[in-house]
Amino acid sequence: MSANLLWAEVPQVTVDGDSTDKATAESTQAQIGRYLDDRGHAKFREAAELAAGLSNVYLRVVWDVELRPRPWLDVIPATAVVPEWRWGMLAAATVWRELEPLTEGGEVWRLLEYHTPGSIEYGVYRGDATTLGMLMGFDDHHETEFLVKRTDSQGRQATGVDRLLITHMPNVLPNRVWDGVPDTAPLGRSDYAGIEPMMDALDESWSSWMRDLRLGKARVVIPQEMLDTSGPGSGASFDLDKELLVEVSGFLGDAQKPISESITDLQFKIRVDEHERTTKALRRQILASAGYSAQSYGEEGSVAVTATEVAARKEESLTTRGLKVLYQRPALLEVLTTMMWVDVKHCGAKGVDPTAELTASWPQAVQPDPEATARTLSLLESAGAISTYMKVKMREPAWDHTEVMEEVRRIRDDKTQETPAGDPFNTRGGEPNEEQPDDDVEPGFDEGQGEELDEEPVGGGSRPTLAA
């Protein structure tokens, strides 16, 4: 559940345009998108799931140009790393793994990798289940023969990158159980921390429920005289599928008692309601103590509700998600920067600036209702309280400034190309204020031409007449 809440979708990683030039920022952004392809996305989700259970996890950057043209991630569980801290930061780390046994005895072969900024020191040891044992040569085991050509005389390999190739990613902090234990403060806290007794109680309740099911099986008690003997010393049996039973007198029991009353069924009560209420209450308490809401696990059914109601029901889960993002965002940016350095140094990446500053934003866990968003935008537009830029930004919060501006330009271009229906100003293709000739006047005839007014002297009583 933790991994699904955090990595159901890929976070948006953006290159800061002020930290490099525009062309390099675009090419670096494109390369980061290739790091976070389906493989990279799956690796981060895997790491998040391990961190939730084991309190922390480690991400190692590896490369092999014969397999892939760019570096990729290797997830290492916390149980396979011995970290060294300096002021709460990972300064060095020893990664170990068991190799294939060469004999059927109790010997155990292990490969150790000591990571420091700029180099990796390897060592092959032969010991037993509890002892590291003696240092061996790389060619003594077939799984480490490739290190002979890769390392120097002291078993070291220069990485060419002045930083650790391993990144530590905690789940959440602090760790309540290891308080005061040296070198454990940076280690994260598991989602199981503090709820183990309740999980034991849930296991006990479920076991009791299963025991009731076993004891509740129907059983039949019959007189011994009804058993079919298989001969002396072979015991007796009763066929439960027998359809015809004949009453025989002389039984040791009551001879007048019918067979139907001689056979007794026995079945104990199965306490379903009591066990269900107990396990459900424990389950809810476990989820709440781990920081998750019951709605995230389908406790409230699958009835369609609005995004606001979903967010309210999943408030605990969303709060836990936001808390874990605080710890996973720095790890994500750090490991992406390491991948860029390795890509430039060993994979020949062009146009990638490892010194560029990165930012990351996680998508919304609960997507807003498109219909509700449309109504909100319509009301804001009617009130004249929102611009086209903000309308696009509210519709697509994950878009950056460039993507929003491109959509704004497309909207404006579409409005410019639209042809209005009809001719409301009767312009006939001209300007709205342009004077048009009278339809009743013949072409070429000037209004008022050839007209004379035969007026009386001032003071006369007759009305002026029109003379052609």
Contact at 8 Å (CB) between 116 and 99? Answer: no
Tokens of 158: 């220069």
Asked if 333 and 386 sit in the same domain, the reply is no
Task: Give the phi and the psi of residue 173 in degrees, each rounded to 5.
Answer: -130, 160
390-445 residue pLDDT tens:
989 888 877 878 889 999 999 988 888 765 555 555 555 555 555 555 544 444 44
Q: How far apart are alpha carbons 112 and 198 in whole angstroms?
A: 38
* Lowest pLDDT segment from 209-213, 310-314, 460-464: 460-464
Identify the domain containing residue 333 by its residue range.
2-191+313-361
H helix or E strand, kind and range, residue 91: strand 89-98
String of DSSP letters for 388-405: HHHHHHHH-TT--HHHHH
| C-alpha of 335 from chain center | 18
pLDDT-based confidence at residue 449 (cuts at 50, 70, 90): very low
Asked if 130 and 54 sit in the same domain, the reply is yes
Asked if 19 and 159 sit in the same domain, the reply is yes
> Is the four-CA dihedral 203, 204, 206, 211 of positive or negative sign?
positive
Q: Does a structural domain hold residue 201?
A: no
Domain endpoint, select from 266, 291, 323: 266
Which one is predicted more confidently, 75 or 395? 75
pLDDT at 245: 67
Domain endpoint, select from 231, 266, 301: 266
Asked if 323 and 349 sit in the same domain, the reply is yes
Asked if 29 and 67 sit in the same domain, the reply is yes
* Lowest pLDDT segment from 28-42, 161-175, 348-362, 445-459: 445-459
65 pLDDT higher than 50: yes
Q: Does a structural domain hold residue 442?
A: no
Which residues contact residue 53 at a Cβ distance below 8 angstroms, ignoring those fewer than 6 apart? 190, 191, 192
| DSSP state, residue 460 | -
pLDDT at 374: 84
Q: Which amino acid type is present at position 301?
A: G
Asked if 352 and 381 sit in the same domain, the reply is no
Rounded to 5°, the CA angle 63-45-298 comes to: 170
376 pLDDT higher than 60: yes
Place of tokens 């076993």: 214
pLDDT at 109: 95
If we measure between CA atoms, which residue out of 386, 384, 389, 390 comes closest to residue 405?
A: 389
Which one is predicted more confidently, 408 or 243? 408
Q: Distances in Å between the alpha carbon of 259 and those of 30, 219, 222?
A: 85, 17, 9
Asked if 106 and 227 sit in the same domain, the reply is no
String of DSSP letters for 223-289: -GGGSEE-STTS-EE--TT-------TT-SS-TTS-HHHHSEEE-PPP-HHHHHHHHHHHHHHHHHH
Q: What is the mean pLDDT of residues 206-217?
A: 89
452 pLDDT higher than 50: no
pLDDT at 300: 58
Contact at 8 Å (CB) between 195 and 289? Answer: yes
Q: Does a structural domain hold residue 17?
A: yes
Q: How far apart are alpha carbons 436 and 423 in whole angstroms?
A: 14
Q: What is the mean pLDDT of residues 163-171?
A: 96
303-333 residue pLDDT tens:
445 555 555 556 778 888 889 999 999 999 9
pLDDT at 445: 45
249 pLDDT higher than 70: no
Asked if 13 and 157 sit in the same domain, the reply is yes
Contact at 8 Å (CB) between 263 and 221? Answer: yes
Contact at 8 Å (CB) between 322 and 313? Answer: no
pLDDT at 197: 94
Tell me the average pLDDT of the chain: 82
Asked if 40 and 178 sit in the same domain, the reply is yes
Terminal alpha carbon distance of the chain: 99
pLDDT-based confidence at residue 448 (cuts at 50, 70, 90): very low
298 pLDDT higher than 80: no
Q: What is the mean pLDDT of residues 31-43?
A: 95
pLDDT at 297: 73
> Is the four-CA dihedral 206, 208, 209, 211 of positive or negative sign?
positive
Which one is predicted more confidently, 246 or 99? 99
Asked if 73 and 108 sit in the same domain, the reply is yes
Q: How far apart are alpha carbons 337 and 354 in whole angstroms?
A: 6
Q: Does a structural domain hold residue 454?
A: no
Asked if 32 and 169 sit in the same domain, the reply is yes
Q: Does a structural domain hold residue 298?
A: no
Q: What is the mean pLDDT of residues 253-279?
A: 76
Domain endpoint, select from 329, 361, 393: 361
Looking at the structure of the chain, the number of domains it has is: 3
Q: Does a structural domain hold residue 412?
A: yes
Asked if 137 and 250 sit in the same domain, the reply is no
What does the buried/exposed string (b/e) look like for 180-197 if buried means 16 or more CB atoms within 10 Å of the residue's CB? Answer: eeeeeebbbbbbebebee
**Own/partner long-range contacts of 31-40 (Cβ < 8 Å, ≥24 apart):** 31/70, 31/340, 31/343, 31/349, 31/351, 31/352, 32/336, 32/340, 32/358, 34/70, 35/70, 35/71, 35/72, 35/336, 35/339, 36/10, 39/72, 40/72, 40/73
Q: Does a structural domain hold residue 148?
A: yes
pLDDT at 105: 81
Q: How far apart are alpha carbons 177 and 111 in whole angstroms?
A: 31
95-144 residue pLDDT tens:
999 999 988 888 999 999 999 999 999 999 999 999 999 999 999 999 99
